[in-house]
């Protein structure tokens, strides 16, 4: 029986890379499968460390040089968490397109590739996949809820007639959901279709629509109504494959598991007490001022709830 060879290409951002690495663990539970993961030299050590317990004959990592001397980008920046400002996200995203020839050259040197799973922000990989007749599946790492609402609001131009950023409005397909224009990232609430960042998002969406499938880090019991709505309204078909964080490799037989970190022990204690814990995290891309951090801290303190807050240095 011939093994299945899958190529995975995560976007250079921890919030995008980590779920795809969890997906790798899930795929490795299947027999007769081999995986090739594309990265860059600066991001590769993190990926290799994450996959240190996997069989190197089954999982290989190929590094492609990240474009150098890109206008606006500081030297050596190969991931979004190192950007001095998220205003540089578009130049960073566009810079990845310069990797396409090297990606295609590497594809030609690989054993037969049956499928490419690439991040939705790497929309140019659709051209590469089509060039070699390889199916491309898209991975964003976000929920069905976020996917369908973003697409419906954009398609039906629901932000056009909203008078203020804080005016609540509902989505016809989901009248119980109340949104505001402030709930959307800047490019999505900008009505000027010439906005370069908005044009980039549209480009990603079109590439997604022309791909062969969409993998979602969620599960049907949690979001069936939003998953079904996507599959009625849009292409490509979406499949739930999560929650992928549960797919980490098991501890090998005979190996003693490491002692749990203090924060995990604290969570276990709260669970045993039947107490819920609020998790607060804004990812690696949000720009939050010191004043905003202080206000969040004050709100958490006054709420009197147990909370776990992930704060970047």
Q: Could you tell me the pLDDT band of residue 252, with boundaries at 50, 70 and 90?
A: low
Answer yes or no: are the C-beta atoms of 296 and 280 closer than 8 Å: yes
Q: Could you tell me the pLDDT band of residue 249, with boundaries at 50, 70 and 90?
A: low
User: Greater confidence, 187 or 40?
Assistant: 40
Among the listed residues 53, 65, 102, 119, the single catalytic one is: 119
Task: Answer whether residue 197 shows pLDDT above 90.
Answer: no
Q: What's the rounded mean pLDDT across residues 46-75? A: 92
Answer yes or no: are the C-beta atoms of 16 and 10 closer than 8 Å: yes
**Lowest-pLDDT choice from 112-126, 213-227, 246-260:** 246-260
Q: What's the rounded mean pLDDT across residues 159-183? A: 90
Does residue 119 carry a catalytic annotation?
Answer: yes
pLDDT at res. 184: 83
pLDDT digit string, tens, across residues 62-110: 999 999 999 899 999 999 988 888 889 999 999 999 999 999 999 999 9
pLDDT digit string, tens, across residues 257-286: 678 899 999 999 999 999 999 999 887 777
31-40, 52-61, 240-249: which is most confident: 31-40
Going by their DSSP bridges, the two strands 115-119 and 4-9 should be labelled as parallel
User: Greater confidence, 63 or 288?
Assistant: 63
Among the listed residues 5, 16, 25, 63, the single catalytic one is: 16
* Structural class in CATH, domain 4-246: alpha beta
Domain boundaries, the chain: 4-246, 262-309
pLDDT digit string, tens, across residues 115-164: 999 999 999 999 999 999 999 999 998 899 999 999 999 899 888 888 88
For residues 115 and 40, give the distance between their C-alpha atoms in angstroms, rounded to a whole number: 20
Q: Could you tell me the pLDDT band of residue 2, with boundaries at 50, 70 and 90?
A: low
Q: Could you tell me the pLDDT band of residue 253, with boundaries at 50, 70 and 90?
A: low
Task: Answer whether residue 208 shows pLDDT above 70.
Answer: yes
Does residue 25 carry a catalytic annotation?
Answer: no
User: Greater confidence, 54 or 17?
Assistant: 17
pLDDT at res. 62: 97
């Amino acid at each position: 029986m011939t093994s299945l060879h899958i190529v995975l290409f995560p976007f250079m951002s921890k919030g995008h890379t980590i779920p795809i690495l969890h997906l790798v663990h899930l795929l490795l539970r299947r027999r007769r499968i081999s995986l090739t993961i594309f990265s860059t030299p600066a991001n590769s050590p993190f990926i290799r460390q994450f996959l240190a317990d996997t069989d190197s004959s089954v999982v290989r990592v190929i590094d492609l040089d990240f474009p150098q001397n890109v206008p606006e980008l500081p030297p050596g920046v190969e991931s979004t968490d190192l950007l001095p400002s998220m205003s540089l996200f578009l130049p960073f995203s566009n810079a990845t397109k310069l990797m396409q020839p090297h990606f295609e050259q590497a594809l030609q040197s690989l054993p037969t590739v049956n499928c490419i799973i690439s991040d939705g922000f790497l929309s140019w990989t659709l051209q590469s996949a089509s060039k070699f007749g390889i199916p491309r599946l898209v991975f964003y790492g976000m929920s069905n809820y976020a996917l369908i609402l973003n697409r419906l609001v954009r398609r039906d131009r629901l932000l056009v007639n909203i008078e203020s950023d804080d005016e609540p409005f509902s989505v016809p397909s989901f009248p119980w959901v109340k949104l505001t224009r402030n709930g959307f990232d800047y490019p999505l609430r900008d009505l000027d279709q010439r906005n370069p960042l908005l044009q980039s998002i549209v480009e990603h969406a079109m590439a997604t629509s022309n791909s062969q499938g969409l993998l979602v880090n969620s599960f049907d019991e949690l979001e069936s109504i939003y998953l079904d709505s996507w599959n009625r309204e849009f292409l490509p078909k979406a499949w739930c494959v999560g929650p992928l964080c549960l797919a980490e490799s098991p501890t090998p037989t005979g190996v003693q598991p490491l002692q749990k970190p203090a924060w995990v022990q604290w969570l276990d204690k709260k669970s045993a007490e039947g107490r819920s814990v609020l998790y607060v995290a804004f990812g690696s891309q949000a720009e939050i001022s010191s004043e905003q951090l202080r206000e969040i801290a004050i709100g958490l303190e006054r709420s009197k709830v147990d909370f776990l807050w992930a704060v970047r240095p």
